[in-house]
Structure 1
Amino acid sequence: MTEVLSPRTPGKGEISGEDIIDHPQWAVLKQAVEAIRPWQSKDGSIDFEAEGAPSRDDAARTLGRVVDAVEQLAPLLPHDAAYHQALVADLRRWSDGGFGVPDFLDSLLAFQPAADRRDGLQHLVLFPMYTQNGNPDRNLEAVALRVVWPQWLAELERTRYDNPLFVPITFQDFTPGYDTNSAVLFPETVAVREAPSRWTWGAIFCDREAARFRAVTEAAVDTLGLKLPEEAAKLVQDQDLAEQTFVLWDMIHDRTHSHGDLPFDPFMIKQRAPFWMYGLEELRCDLTSFREAVKLQAEGHPMGLGVQYAILFDRLFRFPVTGARTRNYDGLGGQLLFSYLHKHDAVRWTDNTLRIDWERAPQVTNQLCAEIETLYRDGIDRPKLVHWFAAYDLVATYLSPHPGSVWAKGPEALDLSLPPRKLVDDVLPDEFPLSMFYEALAKKLREVIASTKGITGDSAVRSAA
């Protein structure tokens, strides 16, 4: 592995103008939104008969402050004029309709951030929504953000990794639904009367991803006694460089869901499947990104090496020990990668010290990617249940199933008269428990992982300073 360079600091200079969070109406907007959120039910409506509920007049007045703030902030963001006009209409209709289940489809359709991905472009986003890995309720949320679209990334997307719906972003400020572990802004989380025929954008907060990667990796490296190459250490220390690295990783990962030999719906939103299928899909996309990064490095691209380090460290250190163990498919993918590298002598845990063979690790990682791709290609010719078992066998080759697993006993242990979706009920919540290595690591990293809740790029830089 060779050198990685920082092409530029993303999202901080190509777009001029006043930061919306410095405008006094941003504080007014946040206060009004935060007043409304506790009044809302899980579906976003307000039950005026509930204990602690406001009067209808109080709710209408508070929402009026939200509308006034949006209208005063909107001139700072002329590129979002159509969205903000539709947003004001949706807010007023919600109020006039008595604050029932909100429907913001019109404003959602008007918001098109992927159509203008200028580096540093600001957006004020306001929707009733849940936040993935954050708040499960459809509360009103306000987020101020900037687009990250440096020229080098735009060129790679145009010439090599076409992904017209991908929008990398950074936080400026947010309401409590994003003071969580959520690092995405997805249109499907918004309360609407009906889902659009197609989604036209998806946004990922690269600053949060980079900041928590750096915090957890630094703690893991210290705990495990791992010696990092100079350029890997630079990536862990530099927030701007880490953000750029994650933008490239995310762009390739995101498009991979729709590329390759896919025996099933790539996002698996129309079917019920065992969680290891989701884990393998996410891992396939990451390993494809890794393989592309190896190619970029070989071609002399300065970001290729950093993406490899980021994928290895996030997958090996953060993913397996983050979140609950119930159907933790990202954790499963991280466990699988570690075990595969360990069994192929690219990773060794000896004398309480972790050692990575930096030359062998890329070869072995690409080998795992090839095995998963073979599974997918063969799966096109298999019935669904046979494919699920083939995937189970691949995972179980490297990870020990729970001793009480029914699936581990094979097809004869299941009621095969049931449709496949019913057999998912026989999957244990933690079908592949943590190894002793990861159980110990989870205890060591528990506090630092908890500390990354709500982290942003700015807060990480302030903390380091």
Structure 2
Amino acid sequence: MTEILAQDRRGGDAGSAERVIDHPAWPALKDAVEEIRPWQSKDGSIDFGAEGAPTRATVELALGRVISAVEELSPLLSHDAAYHRALVADLRRWADGGFEVPDFLDSLLAFQPAQARADGLQHLVVFPMYTQNGNPDRNLEAVVLRVVWPDWLAELERTRFDNPLFLGITFEDFTSGYDTNSAVLFPETIAVREAPERFTWGAIFCDREAARFRKVTEAAVDILRLGLPEDVRAMIGDQARCQQAFVLWDMIHDRTHSHGDLPFDPFMIKQRQPFWMYGLEELRCDLTAFKEAVKLEAEGVAQARDVQYAVIFDRMFRFPVTGERVRNYDGLGGQLLFAYLHQHDVVRWTDNTLHIDWDRAPQVTNQLCAEIEKLYRDGIDRPKLVHWFAAYELVSAYLAPHPGSTWAKGPDALDLTQPPRKLVDDVLPDEFPLSMFYEALAKKLKGVIASTKGITARSARSAESMSAAKDASVEPTLAAGAA
């Protein structure tokens, strides 16, 4: 099994098909979509009465080019034929209905990428949608992607981490909504008349995650003067290796949302809760991936140790200082991991240098995971509000609450005659502010994090090549000057 897992063999026919983005119909499709997007309102409709609005005939011409391009590209992707037929029908119905709020439920139901996961398989996806952590409006988007499903990952999913809806994917090309920080393709973001009874897939772009991780981690390591084992340094320098780590991390994380001692809605999408509850849920899933990676490493799985480094570094360096400080639950999870490791002497900040006890890091990280799991297990026997306070106590044991926090004062400071969802209004937008350490780090990493907007493996390689060429061109000058 170890020998199989150590390989990253690309599937045969799936990876060798003609690249969709090399076909002349792809740039034609992109241009037509980009023409339509600015005409759309937040809900995806087009208001022809608005100032500067196009004529209906103009929009119909642009949409016709979208349809023609999809029909021209579809023969390259026979596995998506049913989806593309439904897509064309939805596009035409949108036009026939006067470009009101789009409804692409039929094509969404026809798109079933998780039913035939094959490494390197291409998909052409067109939907009106918002992009999570990207564009909040339901604009028309087009994206070409490839599935990441190497044999070793398929074997782990089949035998150990059953997750039939999960897709690891990489970008080939995309329209403006993905020239953002979005690294997911989720069906719930698509404009439909009604939500389907159940979603049948969920996809995460491991190439963007890996490229972003590498750039931010390299900068943080340099800023913090963190000494790295040679193997870790090699991993951070290798995009393909990092992608393998992220696709394994993502598969286990995604699965964990529906495994363990859980609330009735593990994703908490339909519940109004304090944002630290969301932060603990996301951190629980990440730390479960870490815990499983420790086991897999002991069994000889080549990608498992890299997952551990990816979880620790991404959570500690990028998450706390990314995004606004308004209900930033991912940032909170990163702050909590760092504080926990610091207060258990795994992470030390001395002489303006960060030190990590690599030998103790797995044990103590798993210890935090166990504390969160116990919180969940005990929560099954608690009323909701009592559970929220127990979670607050766990977080505030390691992170200092805002001095103006009402929740920090305890139950007596809250109007407990109100339903729990109303008490969420008493949570401060930044209930657990950044520490002085993170305030300083945020200033130094701000530009690097901003530069990762829209990053892909291809753009990262291009930037690295330009940097290497620049360095090479400078060397002769320096040498001549020294002489």
Report the TM-score, using the length of structure 1 for normalisation. Answer: 0.98
Q: Which amino acid aligns with 1:125?
A: V
Partner-residue secondary structure (3-state), 1:416: coil
Which residue pairs with 2:186 in the alignment? 186
Relative to structure 1, the CA distance from residue 405 to residue 11 in structure 2 (aligned partners, 3 Å threshold; closer, same or farther) is farther
**TM-aligned CA deviation for residue 11 of structure 1:** 7.4
Which residue pairs with 1:294 in the alignment? 294
Partner-residue secondary structure (3-state), 1:222: helix
Aligned positions, number = 461
Partner-residue secondary structure (3-state), 2:124: strand
Q: Cα deviations across residues 120-166 of structure 1 (Å, max 9, x unaligned)?
A: 00000000000000000000000000000000000000000000000
Runs of 5+ consecutive residues of structure 2 not aligned to the other structure: 466-483
Which residue pairs with 1:261 in the alignment? 261
Which residue pairs with 1:324 in the alignment? 324
C-alpha distance in 1 between matches for 2:374 and 2:284:
11
**TM-aligned CA deviation for residue 303 of structure 1:** 1.1
Q: Which amino acid aligns with 1:316?
A: M
C-alpha distance in 1 between matches for 2:457 and 2:348:
32
Which residue pairs with 2:130 in the alignment? 130
Which residue pairs with 1:206 in the alignment? 206
Runs of 5+ consecutive residues of structure 1 not aligned to the other structure: none
Relative to structure 1, the CA distance from residue 170 to residue 13 in structure 2 (aligned partners, 3 Å threshold; closer, same or farther) is farther
Is the Cα–Cα contact under 8 Å of residues 10 and 244 in structure 1 kept in the other structure? no
Q: Cα deviations across residues 95-114 of structure 1 (Å, max 9, x unaligned)?
A: 01100000000000000000
Which residue pairs with 2:477 in the alignment? none
Q: Which amino acid aligns with 2:234?
A: K
**1:367-406, aligned counterparts within 5 Å?**
367-406=367-406
Is the Cα–Cα contact under 8 Å of residues 83 and 111 in structure 1 kept in the other structure? yes
Which residue pairs with 2:431 in the alignment? 431
Partner-residue secondary structure (3-state), 2:53: coil
Whether 1:142 aligns to 2:146 is: no
Which residue pairs with 2:421 in the alignment? 421
**TM-aligned CA deviation for residue 52 of structure 1:** 1.7
**TM-aligned CA deviation for residue 16 of structure 1:** 1.5
Is the Cα–Cα contact under 8 Å of residues 9 and 241 in structure 1 kept in the other structure? no
Q: Which amino acid aligns with 2:86?
A: A
Whether 1:236 aligns to 2:236 is: yes
Q: Cα deviations across residues 168-226 of structure 1 (Å, max 9, x unaligned)?
A: 10000000000000000000000000000001000000000000000000000000000
Is the Cα–Cα contact under 8 Å of residues 8 and 151 in structure 2 kept in the other structure? no
Which residue pairs with 1:73 in the alignment? 73
Whether 1:458 aligns to 2:458 is: yes
Q: Which amino acid aligns with 1:17?
A: A
Is the Cα–Cα contact under 8 Å of residues 6 and 301 in structure 2 kept in the other structure? no
**TM-aligned CA deviation for residue 445 of structure 1:** 0.4
C-alpha distance in 2 between matches for 1:36 and 1:118:
33
Which residue pairs with 2:349 in the alignment? 349
Whether 1:20 aligns to 2:13 is: no
**TM-aligned CA deviation for residue 8 of structure 1:** 2.7
Q: Which amino acid aligns with 2:83?
A: Y
C-alpha distance in 1 between matches for 2:366 and 2:10:
29
C-alpha distance in 2 between matches for 1:95 and 1:253:
40
**TM-aligned CA deviation for residue 12 of structure 1:** 9.3
Partner-residue secondary structure (3-state), 1:70: helix
**TM-aligned CA deviation for residue 7 of structure 1:** 3.0
**TM-aligned CA deviation for residue 251 of structure 1:** 0.3
Q: Which amino acid aligns with 1:81?
A: A
Q: Which amino acid aligns with 1:147?
A: V
C-alpha distance in 2 between matches for 1:255 and 1:332:
22
Partner-residue secondary structure (3-state), 1:459: helix
Which residue pairs with 1:58 in the alignment? 58
Which residue pairs with 2:172 in the alignment? 172
Which residue pairs with 1:361 in the alignment? 361
Percent identical among aligned pairs is 78
Is the Cα–Cα contact under 8 Å of residues 44 and 102 in structure 1 kept in the other structure? yes
C-alpha distance in 2 between matches for 1:369 and 1:261:
13
Q: Cα deviations across residues 362-420 of structure 1 (Å, max 9, x unaligned)?
A: 11000000000000000000000000000000000000000000000000101101100
C-alpha distance in 2 between matches for 1:59 and 1:304:
50
Is the Cα–Cα contact under 8 Å of residues 407 and 413 in structure 1 kept in the other structure? yes
C-alpha distance in 2 between matches for 1:379 and 1:423:
18
Is the Cα–Cα contact under 8 Å of residues 10 and 240 in structure 1 kept in the other structure? no
**TM-aligned CA deviation for residue 263 of structure 1:** 2.8
Partner-residue secondary structure (3-state), 1:243: helix
Q: Which amino acid aligns with 1:219?
A: A
C-alpha distance in 2 between matches for 1:6 and 1:336:
33
Q: Which amino acid aligns with 1:286?
A: D
Is the Cα–Cα contact under 8 Å of residues 6 and 241 in structure 1 kept in the other structure? no
Relative to structure 1, the CA distance from residue 148 to residue 13 in structure 2 (aligned partners, 3 Å threshold; closer, same or farther) is farther
C-alpha distance in 2 between matches for 1:179 and 1:54:
25
Is the Cα–Cα contact under 8 Å of residues 14 and 122 in structure 2 kept in the other structure? no
| Deviates further, 227-236 or 249-258 | 227-236
**TM-aligned CA deviation for residue 15 of structure 1:** 2.3
Whether 1:285 aligns to 2:281 is: no
Q: Cα deviations across residues 248-267 of structure 1 (Å, max 9, x unaligned)?
A: 00000000000000134110
Is the Cα–Cα contact under 8 Å of residues 121 and 147 in structure 1 kept in the other structure? yes
Which residue pairs with 2:470 in the alignment? none
Whether 1:110 aligns to 2:123 is: no
Which residue pairs with 1:248 in the alignment? 248
**TM-aligned CA deviation for residue 10 of structure 1:** 5.8
Is the Cα–Cα contact under 8 Å of residues 162 and 255 in structure 1 kept in the other structure? yes
Which residue pairs with 1:91 in the alignment? 91
C-alpha distance in 2 between matches for 1:286 and 1:358:
18
Give every structure 1 segment of 4 or more consecutive aligned residues whose post-TM-superposition deviation is greater than 4 Å. Answer: 9-14
Q: Cα deviations across residues 270-315 of structure 1 (Å, max 9, x unaligned)?
A: 2100000000000000000000000011111111110000000000
Question: Looking at both structures, which has the greater relative contact order when contacts are Cα pairs under 8 Å and sequence separation is at least 6?
Answer: 1
C-alpha distance in 1 between matches for 2:302 and 2:316:
23
C-alpha distance in 2 between matches for 1:14 and 1:35:
32
Whether 1:160 aligns to 2:160 is: yes
Is the Cα–Cα contact under 8 Å of residues 206 and 246 in structure 2 kept in the other structure? yes
